[in-house]
Structure 1
Amino acid sequence: MNLTAVSSFLLFMFLVAFISFIKSSRSRKATTTDFFFANRTNGYLVIGSSLFFSNISSNQFIGENESVYINNMSVIGWGATSVFAMLIVSEYFIPIYLKSGIMTTPDFLEKRYDKSTKVLVSVVFLFSYIINLLPAVLYGGAIAFSSMFNVPAFLGISYWESIWLLVFIVGIIGSLYSIIGGFKAITISDTVLSTCMFILALIIPYYGLRYLGDGSIHLGLETLLSSKKTHLNAIGSETDAVPFSTIFTGMLIVNLYYWGMEQYIVQQAIAGKSLKDSQKGIALACLAKLLCPLLINIPGLIAVHMYPSLTNTAEVFPLLVKDVLPAFLVGLTASVLLGAAITTYNAGLNSSSTLFVLNLYKPYLQKKTNGEVSERRLLRAGKLFQICISLFAMLFAPFIIFSQNGFYNYLQKVGSIFTIPIFTIIFIGFITRRVPAIAAKVGMIFFITCYVLSQFIFPVKLHFLHVLAIIFVITALLMIAIGSAAPMKTPYTLKLDNKVDIIPWKNRHYYSFILLILMVLIYVIFSPAVLAK
């Protein structure tokens, strides 16, 4: 373990924490709105940074580079095509949320269907975070840190033991951030870390190509582009991790859910001080997502040439960073990786607590006491809940090492058990006015049952994203059929209850067009027509 790398890592982590807590200490955290939504005072720069960095965790660094190393660039579909979904969310979903004044995604379901649907979906959300999101973030951060600093050799422990140790370190730091600093501290640290990430997006390819070319960037780039060109192809075949056809089926659905309904993501956007700021923030995050391949995928391409055969392919990114970067930059990269894990973990904890306190605990207390519940009691319950689920996540995370077919594939496949059923019933709620609450409940149970059977009990020989799309269509038709047979007596109408200005961003369509052109251009560049020729 290099002393310079460790010193730069500790210094940068201290600076991020210091800036976050100094800035967040100036904001009030006396109410749930203060603690969970930064009192709705975030501008577009903070929203864009928070959206981007809450999405980018060590899972992407580890999982996507592993996929590039094993397969090809087809994995960029998750990030590049998310731009299209994000723009749809910006234009249609966020205005609905802000106009209705909701604080959590299930709040919309209460307005559209009924309270029991809201409770059901809140519970499913919590299962998703506790079983999939939080443990996976801890595991990804632990792998990156263990490999980058060679923790097992330094401490004289096994790799398995190092994962346990680092999972608890990341979990404890993340918990302290969220519990003490609240949502404001999370968004501020996201902004600082996003700046550093863009610096690394240029630095890591530079040093990697220079290393590959024995000191010459030109020779390194020539090697990258002239041999093993199949890895440069983003147009995935049916046997690749992400077949190209899936971006038009299940991947679109997953991205729409993630950016438009995932609580810890939506919470970043609806914490804005206006609809205009939320839409500008989403556009900024879109641009950042299009730049992601520089940092998240190019290192995997370089690693293909540096390491002909690796036993543990999850170590691709941290191993490359350790081998090509100067020691002080290894420390900076480690701090950004750990920061990425911590901030996504923070966001997940904060949103889990938001769902529990506002959608489950507060209604329970109000029913029990027949009156108002003090904000202080709710905040205390929220912090205690964060401690409990954080402990569970830390105990569960190390066992992800036994997952098959790659870490990133595990994340997407398991996460879909919970996420797409939620997307289905919210989407039907958006586009229909008479589909009743019973249809939402039946649809939720039907979707989860069919998906689990098709993926884990009686595996279907079809990519899971295509399966998702098929079950989504069948479930949607089932809900509409129930709505036709037993429609709501009074059709749903959106009632304005906005807490912020809801005037949309005037120039959003021009920027959306540019972003979509850039998205297509990325696919053209990483295709058999250009780089993979």
Structure 2
Amino acid sequence: MNTIEAIDLVVIAGYLLGIVGVGLYSVRKRKQTSEGYFLAGKSLSWAVIGASLFASNISTVHLVGLAESGFTDGIVWGNFEWFSGIELIILAFVFIPFYLRTKITTLPQFLEKRYDSRSRVVLAIFSILAALFMHIGVSLYAGAVVFENVFGLSILVSILIVALATGVYTIVGGLTSVVITEAVQTVILIAGSITITVLALYRLPEMGIGSYEELKAAVDPDRFRVVGFDSAEKGFTFTDMLFGHLVLGIWYWCTDQTIVQRVLGARSEKQAKLGALFAGFLKILPVFIMVVPGILAFALFREQIGEDTKSVLPVLISNLMPVGLKGLMVAALLAAVMSSVAAAINSCSTLIVYDVFDKLKPNLTDGRKIFIGRLTGLIVLVSAVIWSPFLGNLGTLFELINQMFSIFAPSIVAVFLLGILSSRGTANASFYTLLVGSLFAASVFVVEKYLTVGGIPHYLSSTDGLGINWLQQTSLFFLFAVLLYAVISYFDQQEQVIFPGFYLKVRNSSRLVNWLTALLVLTLLVLYWTFY
């Protein structure tokens, strides 16, 4: 599928123009304040928050990677999606009350209120680098690779098109434009994914598959076992995934500015919690509409795909989607790229304005803050466009991005989690845990990735070496960070200064929040029982 039909072009162009129009229309005739630009005026409702959280998270890395994992391994990689439901519950009940009651704009600002300005600076640097080099750069490159495979469109041209369309409404409209467009993109993402799933199911009878049991027999029943992970073959166990993902997931969903900024713009604590729970329910869907199509591709197009497993999604689009609907699926792919990029641009602008310029010049006017935010967004986007094409030389994309996250995520999670759960942690403990913990993890990453020990490459994870895979390493980094934090706090004699009223009395959540939480947990338990 290296050509684009006229109808598909119309659909794609219509989507691009429509989403830019929606983004700009959402802030029409509105005099923007800095709170309005960076936090949507703290007016967001649960539906917009939940949809925006989902869309920000689902990138082309998900769409391509989950289809590929379904083809190669089955739904076991769906654990990464379903585990997110638990982490979003943690966001709702542990982190949201502290974030909203301390009236912060950025998460580094939260660390300053809990510890001191040193931790704020370190986290701000980590967050900006993550947004620039991982969220934006990786999303642009991964999307461009898909468009190259599907249409033969060059990677650079694809990156420029997506960057231009996303940059217009994100830089002009701020968080309001981002979340409104992400709500629309959530619908497009789900609609496109459901369409390709349904079309694949309708094709099964042509292969002599007429029931669920026949499908399991055709693709191997283990592909429908969510805990059926062959650790000998893949190097991971279910337990590795559970604990390793818990650390990465709490960092991503609960302490990453790119994601949490939607929650900070909530109109109330209840709306923020409901939004997080709504996102938890939405995260159930990718297994069925993104992983399962990969399993169906194994039944339908095994010979055509062969060893080129990264072509699973392009093959599905090429063979199943008729003219017109192909444009819809490309729009879904564009939605995935644009939502992730928009979220990261907006968070990066917020971090620069409030954690850099606002510290240097505390009396900046609203207009000045918005100008700096827009200029920052433009610089960040241009920088990402310049460097993202070089990602092609960095190896397996999905594994790489998770390994890079695991360098600093464990230390950040330790500092946030222990700082909220206990008042004993000191400012020195936070600062040195962030710094030393991340440097230690980075050193291990370099040894594992680039050095040969005793004649054995990848010595730490290799079965000929220590046999500690990267998920296990993530868990160990977290334990190291916790131990470091506890030891420094124990021996640190400095007087703790904590923001007045930081530890507030826990309020009971609304009955609706509690019932929905119970329903989400029950749904996940039923799913694991069904696909055990």
For normalisation by structure 1, the TM-score amounts to: 0.89
On the 8 A contact 2:78/2:287 being kept in 1, the answer is: yes
Instruction: Indicate which of 93, 109, 112 corresponds to 2:111.
Output: 109
Q: Does 1:142 align with 2:144?
A: yes
Q: Does 1:362 align with 2:358?
A: yes
> For 1:339-378, what aligned pairs fall within 5 Å after superposition?
339-366=335-362, 372-378=363-369
Describe the SS at the equivalent of 2:283. Answer: helix
> For 1:396-435, what aligned pairs fall within 5 Å after superposition?
396-404=387-395, 406-435=396-425
Given the superposition, is the C-alpha separation of residues 116 and 453 from structure 1 closer, same or farther in structure 2, using an over 3 Å criterion?
Answer: closer
Write the deviation string for residues 152-209 of structure 1: whole angstroms up to 9, x where unpaired: 4xxxxxxxxx112211221222211211121111111111122233333432111012
Q: Does 1:436 align with 2:442?
A: no
> For 1:385-396, what aligned pairs fall within 5 Å after superposition?
385-396=376-387
Partner residue, 1:237: 230
Instruction: Indicate which of 60, 63, 74 corresponds to 1:61.
Output: 63
Instruction: Indicate which of 24, 27, 35 corresponds to 1:24.
Output: 27
On the 8 A contact 1:353/1:385 being kept in 2, the answer is: yes
On the 8 A contact 2:74/2:291 being kept in 1, the answer is: no
Structure 1 CA distance for aligned equivalents of residues 155 and 418 of structure 2 = 42
Partner residue, 2:184: 192
Structure 1 CA distance for aligned equivalents of residues 476 and 502 of structure 2 = 35
Given the superposition, is the C-alpha separation of residues 300 and 241 from structure 1 closer, same or farther in structure 2, using an over 3 Å criterion?
Answer: farther
Partner residue, 1:7: 10
Structure 1 CA distance for aligned equivalents of residues 435 and 497 of structure 2 = 24
Equivalent AA in structure 2 for residue 46 of structure 1: V
On the 8 A contact 1:434/1:492 being kept in 2, the answer is: no
Structure 2 CA distance for aligned equivalents of residues 19 and 387 of structure 1 = 20
Partner residue, 2:297: 303
Structure 2 CA distance for aligned equivalents of residues 18 and 471 of structure 1 = 45
How far does residue 438 in structure 1 lie from its aligned partner after superposition?
1.6
Structure 2 CA distance for aligned equivalents of residues 272 and 348 of structure 1 = 18
How far does residue 210 in structure 1 lie from its aligned partner after superposition?
1.9
Partner residue, 2:522: 517
How far does residue 496 in structure 1 lie from its aligned partner after superposition?
6.5
On the 8 A contact 1:77/1:242 being kept in 2, the answer is: no
How far does residue 51 in structure 1 lie from its aligned partner after superposition?
0.9
How far does residue 310 in structure 1 lie from its aligned partner after superposition?
4.0
Structure 2 CA distance for aligned equivalents of residues 215 and 310 of structure 1 = 17
Given the superposition, is the C-alpha separation of residues 490 and 450 from structure 1 closer, same or farther in structure 2, using an over 3 Å criterion?
Answer: closer
Instruction: Indicate which of 328, 335, 340 corresponds to 2:331.
Output: 335
Describe the SS at the equivalent of 1:213. Answer: helix
Q: Does 1:129 align with 2:131?
A: yes
Partner residue, 1:530: none
Write the deviation string for residues 49-106 of structure 1: whole angstroms up to 9, x where unpaired: 1111111111100122222223332211111011111101101100110011111111
Structure 2 CA distance for aligned equivalents of residues 198 and 271 of structure 1 = 24
Partner residue, 2:267: 273
Partner residue, 1:183: 175
Structure 1 CA distance for aligned equivalents of residues 469 and 527 of structure 2 = 24
Partner residue, 2:510: 505
> For 1:243-254, what aligned pairs fall within 5 Å after superposition?
243-254=237-248
Partner residue, 2:252: 258
Equivalent AA in structure 2 for residue 187 of structure 1: V
Partner residue, 2:372: 381
How far does residue 223 in structure 1 lie from its aligned partner after superposition?
5.2
Given the superposition, is the C-alpha separation of residues 377 and 491 from structure 1 closer, same or farther in structure 2, using an over 3 Å criterion?
Answer: closer
Q: Does 1:474 align with 2:477?
A: no
Given the superposition, is the C-alpha separation of residues 355 and 242 from structure 1 closer, same or farther in structure 2, using an over 3 Å criterion?
Answer: farther
Write the deviation string for residues 446-505 of structure 1: whole angstroms up to 9, x where unpaired: 22222223233144121211111112112211111111111442463652699xxx8843
How far does residue 224 in structure 1 lie from its aligned partner after superposition?
3.2
Describe the SS at the equivalent of 1:191. Answer: helix
Partner residue, 1:369: none
Structure 2, unaligned stretches of length 5 or more? 449-457, 462-467
Describe the SS at the equivalent of 1:81. Answer: helix
Given the superposition, is the C-alpha separation of residues 241 and 195 from structure 1 closer, same or farther in structure 2, using an over 3 Å criterion?
Answer: farther
How far does residue 23 in structure 1 lie from its aligned partner after superposition?
2.5
Structure 2 CA distance for aligned equivalents of residues 146 and 430 of structure 1 = 46
Describe the SS at the equivalent of 1:327. Answer: coil
Structure 2 CA distance for aligned equivalents of residues 298 and 111 of structure 1 = 45
Out of 106-115 and 485-494, give the one that drifted further.
485-494
Structure 2 CA distance for aligned equivalents of residues 457 and 173 of structure 1 = 40
How far does residue 297 in structure 1 lie from its aligned partner after superposition?
0.7
Given the superposition, is the C-alpha separation of residues 449 and 497 from structure 1 closer, same or farther in structure 2, using an over 3 Å criterion?
Answer: closer
Structure 1 CA distance for aligned equivalents of residues 471 and 319 of structure 2 = 36
How far does residue 27 in structure 1 lie from its aligned partner after superposition?
4.2
Given the superposition, is the C-alpha separation of residues 69 and 407 from structure 1 closer, same or farther in structure 2, using an over 3 Å criterion?
Answer: farther
- Aligned residues with identical type, % of pairs: 22
Structure 1 CA distance for aligned equivalents of residues 257 and 35 of structure 2 = 15
Structure 2 CA distance for aligned equivalents of residues 391 and 16 of structure 1 = 21
On the 8 A contact 1:138/1:397 being kept in 2, the answer is: yes
Partner residue, 2:158: 166
Describe the SS at the equivalent of 2:226. Answer: coil
Describe the SS at the equivalent of 1:101. Answer: coil
Partner residue, 1:484: 490
Write the deviation string for residues 234-267 of structure 1: whole angstroms up to 9, x where unpaired: 2223243753112431211111111111101111
Q: Does 1:321 align with 2:317?
A: yes
Describe the SS at the equivalent of 1:172. Answer: helix
Write the deviation string for residues 296-327 of structure 1: whole angstroms up to 9, x where unpaired: 21111122231334454323213212220122
Structure 2 CA distance for aligned equivalents of residues 130 and 58 of structure 1 = 17
Instruction: Indicate which of 49, 52, 63 corresponds to 2:54.
Output: 52
On the 8 A contact 2:106/2:350 being kept in 1, the answer is: yes
Structure 1 CA distance for aligned equivalents of residues 500 and 54 of structure 2 = 30
How far does residue 221 in structure 1 lie from its aligned partner after superposition?
5.3
On the 8 A contact 1:201/1:295 being kept in 2, the answer is: yes
Equivalent AA in structure 2 for residue 301 of structure 1: I
Partner residue, 2:152: 151
Out of 93-102 and 335-344, give the one that drifted further.
335-344
Structure 1 CA distance for aligned equivalents of residues 446 and 77 of structure 2 = 23
Out of 488-497 and 242-251, give the one that drifted further.
488-497
Partner residue, 1:159: none
Structure 1 CA distance for aligned equivalents of residues 109 and 156 of structure 2 = 37
Root-mean-square deviation over aligned CA pairs: 2.2
Structure 2 CA distance for aligned equivalents of residues 505 and 266 of structure 1 = 21
